[in-house]
Amino acid sequence: MRLNSIKLSGFKSFVDPMNFQVPGQLVGVVGPNGCGKSNIIDAVRWVLGESKASELRGESMQDVIFNGSTNRKPAGRASVELVFDNAMGKAAGQWGQYAEIAVKRTLTRDGTSSYYINNQAVRRRDIQDIFLGTGLGPRAYAIIGQGMISRIIEARPEELRIFL
């Protein structure tokens, strides 16, 4: 499975709907400080089922919802959708039959979190099950966050075993 696009709305600094096309299998997110690079990675981890706000650089899960600015009102909800190419049928379970799989998560200010696969309401566990064995998940090796490379380089051999 290959990630084709990331759609964000109301998620952290992405208040307006934004659609990022992912051009290849290996992607680096680059740009100046403060442009939202880490928020894109947080969005991917969040939609894949991350449940600890601290792993997304927040204090509570509501911190992922755009909180307003001097010029903008706070968003009522956050929404992130990842669209995957599944032409080779690598997705697990009933979703393997679809050529494209859209995985979506929404969160409202009242704390209601919802997950969807191809616009069908599902459980968080269903999202995680699709990606079993693919290296994708909220804390999987396929997503290398800020500071992870230095931790790997500086790690002792016994600490490196967790990556095997």
Q: What is the pLDDT of residue 163?
A: 65
Q: Are 78 and 107 in contact (CB under 8 A)?
A: yes
CA-wise closest residue to 4 among 18, 28, 25: 25
Name 137's Cβ contacts closer than 8 Å, sequence gap at least 6. Answer: 48, 49, 128, 131
Query: What is the per-residue pLDDT across 12-45, written as a single tens digit (0 to 9) for each?
Result: 999 999 999 998 888 788 889 888 888 998 898 8
73 DSSP 8-state letter? P
The C-alpha atoms of residue 22 and residue 152 are separated, in whole angstroms, by 26
Query: What is the per-residue pLDDT across 82-117, written as a single tens digit (0 to 9) for each?
Result: 999 999 888 878 888 999 999 999 999 999 999 999
Tokens of 130: 């699709």
pLDDT: which is higher, 108 or 156 = 108
Query: What is the per-residue pLDDT across 125-140, written as a single tens digit (0 to 9) for each?
Result: 998 888 776 656 555 5
CA-wise closest residue to 148 among 132, 137, 159: 159
CA-wise closest residue to 102 among 115, 112, 114: 115
Residue 53: which domain range? Answer: 2-163
The C-alpha atoms of residue 107 and residue 145 are separated, in whole angstroms, by 23
Domains in the chain, number: 1
Side-chain half-sphere CA neighbours of 24 within 13 A = 4
CATH number, domain containing residue 123:
3.40.50.300
CA-wise closest residue to 103 among 121, 82, 131, 89: 82
